[in-house]
Structure 1
């Protein structure tokens, strides 16, 4: 029995190799199944046996794994290279992959920190709002902080009306028109001028697109804009834009002979 279980000189068991290299037996078994590190020999009892050459091979595998190469890359691409220029090229490609991953993780870290700040400012746990905040952070929407102030009805309306792509397009349109209003005002353009009326038509079309004709949503947005807890920089910019937007809309509705706010209240 002892002779049957004896390990030939110069060989080691999978357990001994695992201990020597600081990995688990399961890892070595996985590398064997993947064809990366088959044992050099099998004992009469069916035990996997390894040699010092396998130690060297495993060391190479672990080193390349440390550089974030996949097992498939290691098996089918990296270790078969025999030209220094090709090795350098593969390493350069991997460096780009890692750089992109770092950038993605840095962005995720920024989003985590921003979400944490929002969570601490909210008065209750609301994972639906958390999800909306995360989506807007992904969209690079600087107004993501608004979400915590919206009521559920407004948020449900937004979720039904916009997907990620259309939501992003809407926010770009909103910011563009806000900046345009500030610029028109700074240039002394009259809100009742033809240029002002053209702006009002575009702005009202944007609002109609957002509300879908539901004036109760518009009323909620007006109430939202009057909250004291909003970001101060945003409030100041919006107030500056409104010095042109409000009279331009009034002139536009007067020309059309309608009052959508009064009609919506009926």
Structure 2
């Protein structure tokens, strides 16, 4: 009883205001130490005491915090402002920041949903592949789904030889050459023509860029367009492209008098 008599009329303890405003005592103590909401008085026993005026100020702080403002923003950017125009500008900045967060969260949600589908399609748990898929989703690489078809050696090779930029550049080159192969095929351009052989050289340059001289990677790169259980349209496109690629490279290597594919197969089986 003596404890309650020590509280002057019109004042509330930190516990009472915390219950009234649905916050924790620790939160109010933190606001006090940050100089954001100091109690109006202290009891003889050193307890924080608050008034209705403090409740109004706390309501303001909680409302602004709900809008995403940090305590530092509220204390140092908002409260010192004097004009509606200044406050409106800060609110506009905060709205822009929240839109960016929403976009980021929406993208994270999309990536989660896509990764879930990829995980269900994979035959085993592989967090390395999960991480690679996430990175490629962040890169906006539409071919992220190919990753689940690669074996560990291929993925280790890709990780050690390519960063985000060079990896994306390689994939763009690959798709451009695949599209060019389809164009040449549909236009009935002979594989042994100058145009066909210029294509073959560009395609082989891409392959050597990928392998980095490691010929054992050749069969794995060739398999890029031959994965099973992939999108039907992808398989159809790659079948057409690979048909022309094989013809063009066959002529190209025949003229050079080499057979790198056989060499790659031998290294693969050693």
Shorter-chain TM-score bucket reads over 0.9
Which runs of at least 4 in structure 1 moved beyond 4 Å after TM superposition?
A: none
Distance in structure 1 (CA, Å) of the matches to 2:221 and 2:171: 15
CA contact under 8 A between 2:174 and 2:206: conserved in structure 1? yes
Distance in structure 1 (CA, Å) of the matches to 2:62 and 2:80: 16
Does residue 128 of structure 2 align to residue 156 of structure 1? no
Q: Using the TM superposition, give the Cα deviation of residue 24 of structure 1 relative to its aligned residue in structure 2, in angstroms.
A: 0.7
Q: Match for residue 111 of structure 1?
A: 111
1:185-212, CA deviations, whole angstroms, 9 ceiling, x for partnerless residues?
3444333232322222222111111111
Distance in structure 1 (CA, Å) of the matches to 2:235 and 2:63: 54
CA contact under 8 A between 2:11 and 2:50: conserved in structure 1? yes
CA contact under 8 A between 1:5 and 1:45: conserved in structure 2? no
Q: Using the TM superposition, give the Cα deviation of residue 182 of structure 1 relative to its aligned residue in structure 2, in angstroms.
A: 2.5
Q: Match for residue 97 of structure 1?
A: 97
TM-score for both structures, normalised by structure 1: 0.92
Question: Residue 185 and residue 27 in structure 1: after superposition, are their counterparts in 2 closer, same or farther (change >3 A)?
Answer: same
Q: Using the TM superposition, give the Cα deviation of residue 5 of structure 1 relative to its aligned residue in structure 2, in angstroms.
A: 6.2
Q: Using the TM superposition, give the Cα deviation of residue 224 of structure 1 relative to its aligned residue in structure 2, in angstroms.
A: 5.3
Question: Residue 3 and residue 20 in structure 1: after superposition, are their counterparts in 2 closer, same or farther (change >3 A)?
Answer: closer
Alignment gaps of 5+ in structure 1: none
Does residue 197 of structure 2 align to residue 193 of structure 1? no
Q: Using the TM superposition, give the Cα deviation of residue 154 of structure 1 relative to its aligned residue in structure 2, in angstroms.
A: 1.4
Q: Using the TM superposition, give the Cα deviation of residue 47 of structure 1 relative to its aligned residue in structure 2, in angstroms.
A: 1.0
Q: Using the TM superposition, give the Cα deviation of residue 223 of structure 1 relative to its aligned residue in structure 2, in angstroms.
A: 4.1
Q: Match for residue 57 of structure 1?
A: 57
Q: Match for residue 213 of structure 1?
A: 213
Distance in structure 1 (CA, Å) of the matches to 2:95 and 2:112: 25
Q: Using the TM superposition, give the Cα deviation of residue 123 of structure 1 relative to its aligned residue in structure 2, in angstroms.
A: 1.8
Q: Using the TM superposition, give the Cα deviation of residue 74 of structure 1 relative to its aligned residue in structure 2, in angstroms.
A: 0.8
